Amino acid sequence: MSDAVVEATGLRKRYGGTLAVADLSLSVRRGEVFGFLGPNGAGKTTSLKMLLGLVRPSGGRGKVLGAALGQRRARERLGFLPEHFRFQDWLTGRELLHFHGRLFGIARRELESRTEQLLARLDLLDAAGRRLGTYSKGMLQRVGLAQALINRPELVFLDEPTSGLDPLGRLLVRDVVKDLREAGTAVFINSHLLGEVEATCDRVAFIKKGRTVHEMALATASDDVSVEVSLGRADRETLSALATLGQGANALQRLHGDGGSRDADEARRSEAIEPAVAGCRERFRLRVAGEEAFPAVARLLVERGVALYEMRLARKSLEALFLEVMGEDQRPG
C-alpha cells in the first residue's frame, strides 16, 4: 500500500481565460501534518477543492487515499473544514454533529458516543444544546472542526483552521492536530498564519501563481540551521577557526544591534571583525550544516578560552523562508 494519502501531478484548473492553478504537484504522506502555503490568489483554495472533488480539474492527475479525485470511497475516510464554515444556524451543536455523522452512515450509538467525545475534546459540551446561531466565531470554528473529525478520518483537510480563534482556541486546535498526528491521521493545513504552520507542520509546500514551487520538511531543514553566539574577547584566529566550522561561503556573520549582519569577508576587509574589547560583547551567527555542529562550536570556543555568554541554535523562520520563496513581487501593494 502506498504511503502517500495525497498525490497530485500537474493538476490544473482553468476558469474560462483564467488559469487558477497551473501545476499542482505534491505528495502528502500518511500520518504527517502538511502545510500548504501561498499568498492570496495563489490558487490554494482551488487546489484544495480539486483534491476534495468539489471542483473538476482541467488537467493533470491526482489521488486521495488511493482513489481518483472525487471518489466516494475516499470521501468516506476524510474530513474537511472549509475556511468559511457555514451551517444551519437553527441546529444545536449536537444536532449538527449528528447530521454530519449520519451522512457517513455511522450507527446511532456510536455516533452519540463520538459526538460527546468530540464536544468534550473541543470544549463545547456546555454549549452543545444551544443553537449554532448563538455561538461565537471561535465556537463555530471549533464545532466545524468537530464535524470534520466525526468519522475518525484518515486524512483531514483544514482550510485556515485557526482563523477567528483566540490564543486559547489556537492552542486547543494545535493540540487536536498533535493528537491526530499521534493517531496516524494525515492533516493537510491551508493557512496564512505561518507561526501556526511552523508549530504544527512536519512538511510544507509553497504555491505561487498556481504552481507548487517549493516543498520541504520543516524539522530537518538542515540548510537553514545556524548557531548564534554572544562572545566576549575573541581574536581573529578564533573567528577564522570558527568560520571553518560553518557551511558555505561567508558562513560567519557579525550581528549588529539593528538586527542586520555583515559577512565575515566583508567585515574583515573593512576590519570590522576585530578582537572584541574587554568587557564588550559581540554577537555572531555561524551558518552550519546541521545540529551536529553545535557541540563542535562550543568546544572550540571553550578550548580557546573565549568568554561565551550565550549560545543558541537558530533556524530560518518560516516567514523569512516564505518571503524568500515568494520573492519581492508577491508583496502586497
**Where do contacts with another protein occur on this chain (CB under 8 A)?**
49, 52-56, 72-73, 75-76, 78, 80-82, 84-88, 90, 99-100, 102-105, 144, 147, 157
We find the least distance from the C-beta atom of residue 83 to another protein, in angstroms, to be 8
Q: Which is nearer to another protein, 5 or 286 (CB)?
A: 5
We find the least distance from the C-beta atom of residue 130 to another protein, in angstroms, to be 16
Contact 207, 38 (CB under 8 A): yes
Q: Which is nearer to another protein, 119 or 156 (CB)?
A: 156
Q: Which is nearer to another protein, 72 or 109 (CB)?
A: 72
Residues 6 or more apart in contact with residue 330 via CB below 8 angstroms: 39, 208
We find the least distance from the C-beta atom of residue 248 to another protein, in angstroms, to be 45
Q: Which is nearer to another protein, 132 or 205 (CB)?
A: 132
Q: Which is nearer to another protein, 39 or 70 (CB)?
A: 70
We find the least distance from the C-beta atom of residue 189 to another protein, in angstroms, to be 16
Q: Which is nearer to another protein, 81 or 227 (CB)?
A: 81
We find the least distance from the C-beta atom of residue 52 to another protein, in angstroms, to be 5
We find the least distance from the C-beta atom of residue 195 to another protein, in angstroms, to be 26
Contact 321, 194 (CB under 8 A): no
Q: Which is nearer to another protein, 9 or 88 (CB)?
A: 88
H, E, C per residue of the chain? CCCEEEEEEEEEEEECCEEEEEEEEEEEECCCEEEEECCCCCCHHHHHHHHHCCCCCCEEEEEECCEECCCHHHHCCEEEECCCCCCCCCCEHHHHHHHHHHHCCCCHHHHHHHHHHHHHHCCCHHHCCCEHHHCCHHHHHHHHHHHHHCCCCCEEEEECCCCCCCHHHHHHHHHHHHHHHHCCCEEEEECCCHHHHHHHCCEEEEEECCEEEEEEECCCCHHHEEEEEEECCCCHHHHHHHHHCCCCCCCEEEECCCCCEEEHHHHHHCCCCCCCCCCCCEEEEEECCCCCHHHHHHHHHHHCCCCEEEEEEEECCHHHHHHHHHCHHHCCC
We find the least distance from the C-beta atom of residue 88 to another protein, in angstroms, to be 6
Q: Which is nearer to another protein, 105 or 257 (CB)?
A: 105
We find the least distance from the C-beta atom of residue 101 to another protein, in angstroms, to be 10
